[in-house]
């Protein structure tokens, strides 16, 4: 969108801006990538004398993505109302860029919490292993009589419940 906005800023029509955008995209992406295929399809539609709105709506139908839907809607309205197409493209590109940045930050935070969860899940077993190695008499008290077995079994159930809840929390999708 930024490439297209630059082409429009230079003075190209929307149709020619799409052709120029395609040239730049070919330098950035492999020729069999989806974005190249979609732009080829839109340019072909423009060459077949379809309007830009029709080509973008067809693109939207193929992609079915919220950001694309918002862009096509705003762009179509701006074009019909004589709005500033360049500003619409720049604003949309900025909005999508901000959204992607926020999603990356959220994924980073979730990744950090997932790592923290894994570490915290291992700590009880590490403590029990350490206690068995260094204070085996103390562990005999915990596991050597009925009361100790009952208390430690209830602790195991609580730990399993907490582990299950933690797994559910880190499976959040953004």
pTM of the model: 0.57
DSSP one-letter string for 145-171: SHHHHHHHHHHHHHHHHHHHHHHHHHT
pLDDT at 66: 79
Burial of 18 (0-12, 13-18, 19+ CB in 10 A): buried
Measured CA to CA, the distance from residue 56 to residue 60 in angstroms comes to 6
pLDDT tens for the chain, 174 residues long, are: 777 777 777 877 778 888 888 888 888 888 888 888 888 888 888 888 888 888 888 888 888 887 778 777 877 777 777 666 677 777 777 787 788 889 889 888 888 888 999 999 899 889 888 988 888 887 777 777 888 889 888 999 999 999 999 888 887 765
């Amino acid at each position: 969108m930024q490439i297209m906005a630059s082409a429009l800023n230079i003075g190209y029509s929307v149709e020619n801006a799409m052709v120029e955008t395609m040239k730049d995209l070919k330098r950035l992406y492999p020729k069999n990538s989806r974005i190249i295929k979609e732009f080829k399809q839109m340019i072909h539609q423009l060459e077949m004398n379809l309007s830009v709105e029709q080509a973008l709506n067809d693109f939207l139908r193929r992609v079915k993505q919220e950001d694309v839907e918002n862009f096509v809607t705003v762009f179509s309205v701006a074009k019909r109302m004589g709005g500033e197409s360049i500003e619409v493209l720049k604003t949309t590109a900025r909005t999508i860029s901000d959204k992607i940045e926020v999603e990356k930050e959220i994924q980073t935070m979730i990744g950090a919490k997932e790592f923290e969860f894994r570490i915290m899940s291992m700590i009880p077993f590490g403590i029990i292993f350490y206690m068995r190695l260094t204070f085996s008499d103390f562990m005999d008290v915990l596991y050597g009589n009925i009361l100790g077995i009952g208390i430690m079994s209830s602790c195991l159930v609580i730990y399993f419940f907490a582990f299950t809840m933690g797994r559910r929390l880190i499976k959040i999708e953004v």
